[in-house]
Structure 1
Amino acid sequence: MAFPSFFAEVPSVVMHDRLAEFLGAAEAGIIEYRYVDAVKLAGHSCPTVAGAYLLTRRVLAALYPDELPERGEIEVSFRDAQEEGVAGVMAAVVGLITGAAGIGGFKGIAGQFSRRNLLGFEALDLPGGIAFTRRDNGRMLSASLHLERVTPDPRTGPLLQRLLAGERDPAVAEAFTSLWQDRVRRILIDHGDDPELVSLA
């Protein structure tokens, strides 16, 4: 598989997963997630997937400043409904990293390790778009993503429309994908620590 080279430059998210440790799936339960894992899950790389990855990484770093985040021990609530806008896509990426799942999630072993019902929607009273809550101490952080901070190149829209209309010129396709992924790169690399791109409360 060949991916854009900047994927490798995006900082990873390292988690501790008690279930993975218990079942011997990962030594000491340590699992590392990279942006390419989110891309594989979603099947594409776009500002939404990049934003969800970055937001999750930023929130976990703030929730666990001196220790590895505990996968499967974090509740996640979205203000939007699952089918509204890009909430479902973002939830998939957030769930990949945190282990939080809805009703179809892993039910646990003898009352332990459950990931079911850790991912919810339509929490209308949230101060931000998504809330992450540690189950061990109840500490919560709410986060909002402001992708408008990283605007697309003005050539992107017209190129997209030409391709959607059926144009098959390889040069047009190459120009579009280059501009599209450059915006993703700017989100993840140039604005990786931008407090106005991912705001925490």
Structure 2
Amino acid sequence: MSENTTPTDTNRPDSNWAVEYDVEPIRIRDPVAEALAVLEPGDPFVVTYEDVVKAAGHSCPTASGAYRIAQLGLNTLFPDKLPVRSEIEVFAAGPHDDATYGVMGRLVSYVTGAAQEDGFGGLAGGHGDRQNMLTFDAFDPDSADPTFRFRRSDTGETVEVTYHVGDVPDGGPALGNLQQIIDGTASEEERELFAEVWHGRVQAVLSEESLFTVTTIEHWP
């Protein structure tokens, strides 16, 4: 390595984020983490939107929509206590191989721990079991928009969250710069304008309550 070469900092404590988002984190307990002394009993994991971006590999209205779907569902189901992984069942209205439901389902699973048959089976006696708690094609929604249901396994209470994607700001012509950015031919001004508009749409999803409808579901299924 020459004297003029700057080595890569492999000890950076966090990603060098180029954008900041304004949204509350999700706090959720994990009985396995508590049992194995990762967390003190009763203390939650704090899941930020940036954590979801890391899981997705990008930030977009789909990823931010999944974050808010999980957040709104959990806040409604657990108004007076922390939600607990392994006590939350998740039901998606669409199929696993759908481009939207597949991505959203994976991110909602990341937050809630709810998984299909390949999920964590729990400790001895099934403590913290999260298998078969995520179901796709689970119900027929009233809307064509992405819709998920969350159910507490301890009480059976169920809420439905619908994400009105058609109401997300379209971003205008600046989004047309994406191909030039990918090709490496975009100017710095075009890159900056794209980033401003793109992340503005993401922030709108994270901020605007009108983009989501939360409904309590009685006697289901």
TM-score, length basis structure 2: 0.82
Amino acid at match of 1:137: T
Q: Give, in angstroms, the shift of residue 30 of structure 1.
A: 1.5
Amino acid at match of 1:22: A
Distance 1:99 1:156 in 2: 37
8 A Cα contact 1:126 1:142, kept in partner: no
8 A Cα contact 1:101 1:119, kept in partner: yes
Which of 174, 178, 185 is matched with 1:160 structurally? Answer: 178
Task: Give aligned-pair identity as a percent.
Answer: 33
Distance 2:103 2:47 in 1: 17
Amino acid at match of 1:26: L
Which of 36, 48, 51 is matched with 1:23 structurally? Answer: 36
Q: Give, in angstroms, the shift of residue 21 of structure 1.
A: 0.7
Q: Is 1:45 aligned with 2:59? A: yes
Distance 1:183 1:165 in 2: 23
Q: Which residue of 2 aligns with 1:146?
A: 164
Q: Which residue of 2 aligns with 1:63?
A: 77
8 A Cα contact 1:52 1:90, kept in partner: yes
TM-score, length basis structure 1: 0.89
In structure 1, stretches of 5+ residues that fail to align are: none
Q: Which residue of 2 aligns with 1:187?
A: 205
RMSD: 1.8
Q: Is 1:199 aligned with 2:217? A: no
Which of 80, 84, 95 is matched with 1:81 structurally? Answer: 95
Q: Deviations over 1:89-134 (max 9, x none)?
A: 1112111111101111101122221111111101133456111010
Amino acid at match of 2:45: I
Distance 1:164 1:2 in 2: 20
Decide whether aligned partners of structure 1 residues 111 and 72 sit closer, same or farther in structure 2, where only a CA change above 3 A counts: closer
| Number of residue pairs the alignment of both structures matches | 196
Q: Which has the larger radius of gyration?
A: 2
Q: Which residue of 2 aligns with 1:122?
A: 137
Q: Give, in angstroms, the shift of residue 176 of structure 1.
A: 1.3
Which of 96, 106, 111 is matched with 1:97 structurally? Answer: 111
Q: Secondary structure at the match of 1:6?
A: coil
Distance 1:92 1:72 in 2: 16
Amino acid at match of 1:170: E
8 A Cα contact 1:127 1:142, kept in partner: no
Q: Which residue of 2 aligns with 1:173?
A: 191
Q: Give, in angstroms, the shift of residue 51 of structure 1.
A: 0.7
8 A Cα contact 2:121 2:129, kept in partner: yes
Q: Which moved more, 1:38-47 or 1:81-90?
A: 81-90
Q: Secondary structure at the match of 1:141?
A: strand
In structure 2, stretches of 5+ residues that fail to align are: 1-14, 216-221
Distance 1:2 1:175 in 2: 20
